[in-house]
Amino acid sequence: MPKLKTHKGAQARFHITGSGKIMRMKGGSSHLRRNKPKRVKRQYDNRVPVSPVDEKRLRRLMPYAGK
């Protein structure tokens, strides 16, 4: 069986934690950022877990990432 290829776009956008969770960055972080509250701007710095619906699809794109 040949090796599977990792989708490089998915590899750049998603991060796998040590426990195997897939994390993503929030969208819209650079758009109209000046007039957003500080609290909202800080929330863009953190990664958030991917929804369970998308997880199976992402694991197929990154076959060798994490657990």
The string of pLDDT tens digits covering residues 2-55 is 999 999 999 999 999 999 999 999 988 888 888 999 999 999 999 999 999 999
- Would you state the pLDDT for residue 32? 86
41 token code pair: 């701007």
Q: Considering the domain boundaries, does residue 17 fall inside one?
A: yes
Q: Considering the domain boundaries, does residue 27 fall inside one?
A: yes
Q: Considering the domain boundaries, does residue 66 fall inside one?
A: no
pLDDT score of 67 more than 70:
no
* CATH value at residue 44: 4.10.410.60
Q: Considering the domain boundaries, does residue 65 fall inside one?
A: no
Q: Which domain holds residue 40?
A: 8-60
Look at the chain and report how many structural domains it folds into.
Answer: 1
- pTM value is 0.80
8 Å CB contact between 60 and 12 = no
What sign has the CA pseudo-torsion 11, 13, 15, 21?
negative
Q: Considering the domain boundaries, does residue 23 fall inside one?
A: yes
Q: Considering the domain boundaries, does residue 28 fall inside one?
A: yes
- Would you state the pLDDT for residue 34? 87
